[in-house]
Amino acid sequence: YIGFGFPDATESTAVDVEIVGLHEKFTLKFSHVVAENTPKGLAAAYFAELVSEKTGGWVEIQVYPNGVLYDAQEEFDALKNGEVQMIAPAFSEVTVRDPKWIVMDLPYLFDSEAKVEQAFEGSVGELLLKSIEREGFKGLAFWDNGFKQLTNNVRPIILPEDVHGLLFRVMPSEALFKTYQTVGAAAVTISFNDVYNALRDGVIDGQENTLSNIYSKGFYQQQQYMTITNHNYLGYVVLIDPEFWRTLPEVYQSSILEAMEEVTAWQRHHARELNKEMLERIAVGSNIEIYEQTEEERAVWRKALKPLYDVYEPIIGKELLDEFAKLQN
């Protein structure tokens, strides 16, 4: 017996008596900043559906997409203040709260999605979750989006010197600012919801994002050049308010964890497909010039950006870096 009846069930049964106290409906607000037709948007919606199914409607996840409630940094405070119960920020946003997460923003850290997966599922993932827990956030899972690509309006970006003097929008992670500075460009933080206008108005020359974000927010319509760089991985950590979590009956906690596991597995595969599809849509539906970085060019970028690894080593710490070193082997 796992359903516990639906919220409007009025009949009392023997089982109901045993689980008395459970008949309280729990509602969780889940805020995120991206469009619904993206890896995160779809995962959040699917998660809400599965949780409702698994708890017979006794736990309701209300999803607020597109940053309608908060921008990415405000979400952390809203979670702490109990205004929302779940968020799924990008790693770069987490670095503001926990600098150890900067490790995920080191340029060209991952050369394949398989490595990313290995990191999420192994000790790297465990260490990152433990670290963010100390800041008062309970991590439930890592969700994928994909690798970030570079768009701009000035010239094709092939080698590091091509970004000289350009201004890019980045998420508020110190390592991202430093990345651009290291190759002679500049970076500025703008909330995700304001990026489209900033591109349109020429406030910035370019931005970096996944194909699904570039497509769903129309950034490609305001940009002339896109380079497939795969220079950083854009992933998310699903966070829940630990105080709220403790108030949930164990049986609902299990349902949530189960739903999370199913969604995470589904999402991993789906994120890749979606980003591929969005690349096609961008190519077909616009005049943007798309250039794919070669292995040789990638090596030049890696070399130019290598100093960042030394800069952040003391902040990230040996324990975490050692785990990464094991991954690379």
Q: Does 180 bind ligand LMR (CB under 6 A)?
A: no
For residue 208, list its beta bridge partners: 150
Rg over alpha carbons for the chain, rounded to the nearest Å, is 21
Q: Does 227 bind ligand LMR (CB under 6 A)?
A: no
Q: Does 234 bind ligand LMR (CB under 6 A)?
A: yes
Helix (H, G, I), strand (E, B) or coil at 227: strand
Q: Does 44 bind ligand LMR (CB under 6 A)?
A: no
How many other C-beta atoms lie within 10 A of the C-beta of residue 161? 12
Q: Does 76 bind ligand LMR (CB under 6 A)?
A: no
Q: Minimum distance from CB of 90 to ligand LMR (Å)?
A: 4
Q: Does 267 bind ligand LMR (CB under 6 A)?
A: no
Q: Does 233 bind ligand LMR (CB under 6 A)?
A: no
Place of tokens 């599809």: 277
Place of tokens 């130019």: 304
Q: Does 33 bind ligand LMR (CB under 6 A)?
A: yes
DSSP H or E run through 124: helix 123-133
Nearer to ligand LMR, 55 or 264 (CB): 264
The single residue among 85, 213, 216, 275 that binds ligand LMR, judged by CB under 6 A, is 213
Nearer to ligand LMR, 54 or 169 (CB): 169
Q: Total residues at the site for ligand LMR (CB under 6 A)?
A: 10
Are 308 and 179 within 8 A, CB to CB?
A: yes
For residue 31, list its beta bridge partners: 64, 87
Distance CA 118, CA 108 (A): 16
Backbone angles phi, psi at 164, to 5 degrees: -50, 130
Nearer to ligand LMR, 140 or 171 (CB): 171
Q: Does 142 bind ligand LMR (CB under 6 A)?
A: no
Helix (H, G, I), strand (E, B) or coil at 89: coil
**Contact residues for ligand LMR, defined by CB under 6 A:** 33-34, 72, 90, 145, 171, 192, 209, 213, 234
